[in-house]
């Protein structure tokens, strides 16, 4: 009796252990019937123990497409306790009570009970792990296949990782540079003092930003704008360095072309005209797409939270793209400012769609300050404009509104048709301006720049360029503002079709 009692107690203890684990434990007898079903199995498969005990495992939790292979190996298992999957851990798909399929990880072993072979199935639901793996794969593909150069080094500058973009640009494949120091890219353009300041910055945990003239494997040179920051472990110690860079060779070439163009006034106007077209679309668009993609990742729209390391990497990419987009916009402003005339190429455009596209460019800038950007413009309002230049006007006004609006503020864009004019207004809840400042904005020819609510710095050319472009459209700019109560900037454009002016 004492032995029987001890056996019962041991059995109860073992059962309690099985029911306390997070993975399902299922025992299948020699006939393929379920003889044990723990609490985790009830939770994972959504089937109560009393509903499934004694039923065929193949008929309850295994999708039909796996039945043929199961039956093929089952007789061997009955006789020997062996099969191709016994003693292995593998991934498969299982069924819940309602027929829903979900991914599982299975560890399968055999056990002889009363001279008959039984199978012990330890099954884990890996649905969340699969989602995380897919998210990591997407992130990895974005890093590996993206347009940005990514390099990771140890604390001595020895290369541990480079992505495809680096190889495409430099000509070095990963095996060429693994373990090599980044100095293999040196062109001699930077001084030893500049490199010393760079290392002092990143070793202190700060971010370094600047330009490099690097040498390719074939001896050619290329320019890049780089951001270098440290990667730290959980104790805060620097373990690696991350370099995020972009090829700016084209920009450098364009800068050189612009410098040469200034030497001849007539040639300069032609170069600037072509330059504006390139900047307005071919150069700005990639940066806009990068900002949109990184903002989606930071907003965690894919359903899984990012790690801190992932967030830091994405923020580095985002900041680099935002800086370059600002630089391109500044070049655009400078080109327009230095042109005596503005060549117009007018067509009809949907105003709401135009404003939406401009908002998309500035959306992430507003999100950083938790500012709401609201497009209140109705459908079916058309404007006859040079779209590249007028988009710059709206973009500059929205950018300034964000700059002078404190955190958690609001910016609204709305339009009104009055007789033969369209009034397009950007209203903000910002700091506002004095009457004297409004007069300067409307009439003064001098260039000045003010700091925004977060110490943002502008070129000081924006308002003057807005006036110039608006006047070229036979329009005007109006300003309503009061210090501490926000501002309304209104662009008034003629309501006309492209042919009406000729007729």
Q: Across the chain, which distance is largest between two alpha carbons, in Å?
A: 113
Query: Does position 447 have pLDDT exceeding 60, yes or no?
Result: no
pTM: 0.39
Q: Are strands 410-418 and 372-375 parallel, antiparallel or unpaired?
A: parallel
Beta bridge partners of 478: 490
* pLDDT tens digits, 392-421: 889 889 988 888 889 889 999 999 988 889
Tokens of 370: 């938790």
Q: Provide the pLDDT for residue 16.
A: 62
Q: Determine the Cα–Cα distance for residues 360 and 301; give it in Å rounded to an integer.
A: 16
User: What pLDDT, on a 0 to 100 scale, did the predictor assign at position 132?
Assistant: 85
Sequence-ordered list of residues with C-beta below 8 angstroms from that of 484, at least 6 positions apart, any chain: 431, 432
Outline where 299-386 has alpha helix (H).
Answer: 308-338, 351-368
Domains, the chain: 2-125 (3.30.450.20), 127-247 (3.30.450.20), 252-328 (no CATH), 342-503 (3.30.565.10)
- The pLDDT mean for the chain works out to 82
Asked if pLDDT for residue 28 goes beyond 90, the answer is: yes
Q: Tell me, rounded to whole angstroms, the distance of Cα 363 from its chain centroid.
A: 13
The answer to whether the CB of 114 falls within 8 A of the CB of 202 is: no
Burial (CB count <10 Å: 0-12, 13-18, 19+), residue 194: exposed
pLDDT in the model for residue 3:
46
The string of pLDDT tens digits covering residues 299-358 is 665 567 777 777 777 777 877 777 666 666 666 665 655 555 556 778 898 999 999 988
pLDDT band at 272 (very low <50, low <70, confident <90, very high): low
Asked whether 124 and 104 are in contact (CB, 8 A), the reply is yes
Q: How confident is the model at residue 147 (pLDDT cuts 50, 70, 90)?
A: confident
Phi, psi of 423, deg, nearest 5: -105, 115
**CA triple 224-209-186, angle to 5 deg:** 45
Alpha-carbon distances, residue 60 vs 27, 35, 56, 94, 377 (angstroms): 14, 13, 6, 9, 57
pLDDT band, very low/low/confident/very high, at 266 (cuts 50, 70, 90)? low
Tens digit of each residue's pLDDT (9 = 90 or more) over 34-58: 999 999 999 999 999 999 999 999 9
In degrees rounded to 5, what are phi and psi of residue 96?
A: -90, 175
Q: Give the whole-angstrom CA distance, residue 372 versus residue 487.
A: 15
How confident is the model at residue 380, as a pLDDT? Answer: 85
- Which position has the token pair 């009393």? 50
| Phi then psi dihedrals of residue 473, to 5 deg | -95, 15
Residue keyed to tokens 């680099």: 320
What does the block give as tokens for 5?
Answer: 């009692």
What is the DSSP code string of 231-255? EE-TTS-EEEEEEEEEE-HHHHHHH
């Amino acid at each position: 009796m004492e032995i029987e009692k001890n056996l019962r107690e041991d059995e109860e203890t073992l059962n309690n252990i099985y029911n306390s684990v997070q993975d399902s434990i299922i025992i299948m007898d020699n006939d393929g019937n379920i003889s044990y079903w723990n609490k985790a199995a009830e939770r994972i498969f959504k089937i109560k123990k009393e509903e499934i005990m004694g039923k065929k495992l193949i008929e309850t939790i295994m999708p039909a497409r796996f039945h043929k292979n199961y039956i093929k190996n089952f007789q061997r298992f009955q006789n020997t306790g062996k099969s191709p999957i016994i003693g292995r851990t593998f991934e498969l798909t299982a069924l819940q009570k309602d027929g829903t399929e979900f991914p599982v990880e299975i560890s399968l072993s055999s056990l002889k009970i009363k001279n008959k072979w039984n199978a012990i199935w330890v099954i884990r639901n890996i649905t969340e792990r699969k989602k995380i793996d897919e998210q990591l794969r997407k992130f990895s593909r974005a890093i590996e296949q993206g347009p940005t150069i990514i390099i990771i080094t140890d604390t001595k500058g020895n290369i541990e990782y480079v992505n495809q973009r680096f190889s495409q640009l430099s000509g070095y494949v990963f095996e060429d540079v693994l373990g090599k120091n980044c100095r293999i890219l040196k062109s001699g353009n930077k001084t030893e003092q500049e490199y010393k300041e760079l290392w002092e910055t990143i070793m202190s945990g700060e971010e370094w930003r600047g330009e490099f003239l690097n040498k390719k494997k074939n001896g050619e040179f290329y320019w890049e704008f780089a951001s270098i920051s440290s990667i730290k472990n959980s104790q805060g110690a620097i373990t690696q360095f991350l370099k995020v860079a972009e090829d700016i060779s084209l920009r450098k070439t364009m800068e050189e072309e612009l410098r040469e163009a200034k030497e001849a006034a007539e040639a300069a106007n032609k170069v600037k005209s072509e330059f504006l077209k390139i900047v307005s679309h071919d150069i700005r668009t990639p940066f806009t797409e990068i900002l949109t993609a990184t903002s989606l990742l930071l907003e965690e729209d894919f359903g899984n939270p990012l790690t801190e390391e992932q967030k830091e990497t994405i923020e580095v990419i985002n900041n680099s793209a935002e800086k370059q987009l600002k630089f391109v916009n500044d070049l655009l402003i400078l080109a327009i400012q230095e042109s005596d005339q503005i060549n117009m190429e007018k067509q009809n455009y949907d105003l709401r769609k135009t404003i939406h596209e401009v908002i998309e460019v500035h959306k992430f800038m507003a999100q950083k300050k938790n500012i709401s950007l609201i497009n209140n413009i109705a459908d079916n309002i058309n404007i006859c404009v040079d779209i590249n230049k007028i988009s710059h006007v709206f973009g500059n006004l929205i950018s300034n509104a964000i700059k002078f609006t404190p955190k958690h503020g609001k910016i609204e864009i709305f339009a009104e048709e009055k007789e033969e004019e369209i009034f397009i207004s950007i209203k903000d809840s910002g700091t506002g301006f004095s009457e004297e400042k409004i007069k300067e904005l409307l009439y003064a020819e001098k260039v000045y720049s003010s700091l925004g609510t977060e110490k943002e710095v502008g070129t000081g050319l924006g308002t003057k360029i807005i006036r110039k472009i608006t006047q070229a459209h036979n329009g005007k700019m109006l300003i309503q503002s009061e210090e501490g109560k926000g501002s309304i900037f209104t662009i008034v454009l003629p309501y006309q079709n492209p042919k009406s002016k000729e007729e």
